[in-house]
Structure 1
């Protein structure tokens, strides 16, 4: 197994995701408890606040997990670069997720892993994606919803960073379809998917 006890590089993250392509997404304390008791190695933290995110991250790290925080969902934080700096200097976070280009750039500058989240709702958002990825230069991108194998196939040719399929990944067929289309991993808050 890959040693993941310290901050990782994007290459080590990709290696880890090849070993374990299911990312557990924690949307509340109960789901986090289940993740910490599971064999899942990578956690996308989709909840927390200015009051407790440092403690939540510390719990994840104590359980040996790689933890990436969705900055856009943190309660009480503004979506400004200083939040990334605070996380990088005051916690053991491995990286961040965000739909905002400035936060992805700030994460890279702070030496954190950066996963740029994209909500693909129409052809306009799809066609904007390669340009935005070129600006933000993330370690990976997360495509939401993740149950779109055809779109994942198209994107595999349009962007040169690893793809993670997230959102509405509900069962083994969704996981296999996303991985078969070229996603390096899937992110899901569905406990049945974590157990695969």
Structure 2
């Protein structure tokens, strides 16, 4: 995934069927799938892969899956997804143990949650950390200095200025559900 993000650091975050259609038309090579159920997930992932996309599934947002190892096993066994996203350290660690990419989603709402990031990453040992909201370059630069894991800035990344600022602050990539951002 790292090579894909070097050429195009914008990740399409998809929240519904219309988003899948838009992601298939977009040049973004990586898709974060943020919806579905245990029944719809396999064909959604298959469709995106057939469209040339590398897909990571947010297991926290798939109906019928719990934030447990078995969710990761389901994604690995029943889909062709390259990895999973989760805000749960144990799930991200399980993804890595099962040979999938692991993206640890961290919601930074205050200094307490910021100080907790390092502890969570020590447990999850992710391939990437996604920080939300991703529109705060100052926090991205702090985190870049504090952790060695590549950073994905997600949430509230709304325009070119946000993208440029986040990348300039040290983010490896941007994740956005805004289709206008996908075409940058």
Fold shared, TM-score > 0.5 on shorter chain:
yes
Hey, what's the Cα distance between the residues in 1 that align with 2:50 and 2:3?
A: 21
Secondary structure, aligned partner of 1:47 = coil
Match of 1:131 in 2: 119
Deviation at 1:35, TM superposition (A): 0.5
Match of 1:105 in 2: 93
Deviation at 1:79, TM superposition (A): 1.6
Match of 2:60 in 1: 72
> Which of 34, 38, 50 is the matching residue for 1:62?
50
Hey, what's the Cα distance between the residues in 2 that align with 1:130 and 1:52?
A: 34
> Which of 79, 91, 96 is the matching residue for 1:91?
79
> Is the Cα–Cα contact under 8 Å of residues 175 and 186 in structure 1 kept in the other structure?
yes
> Which of 118, 127, 130 is the matching residue for 1:142?
130
Deviation at 1:193, TM superposition (A): 0.3
What's the C-alpha RMSD, in Å, of the aligned pairs?
Answer: 0.7
The unaligned stretches of length 5 or more in structure 2 are none
Hey, what's the Cα distance between the residues in 1 that align with 2:156 and 2:82?
A: 25
**1:159 partnered with 2:150:** no
Match of 1:46 in 2: 34
Deviation at 1:90, TM superposition (A): 1.6
Deviation at 1:38, TM superposition (A): 1.5
> Which of 15, 21, 26 is the matching residue for 2:9?
21
**TM superposition outliers: structure 1 runs of 4+ over 2 Å:** none
> Is the Cα–Cα contact under 8 Å of residues 23 and 41 in structure 1 kept in the other structure?
yes
Hey, what's the Cα distance between the residues in 2 that align with 1:30 and 1:16?
A: 23
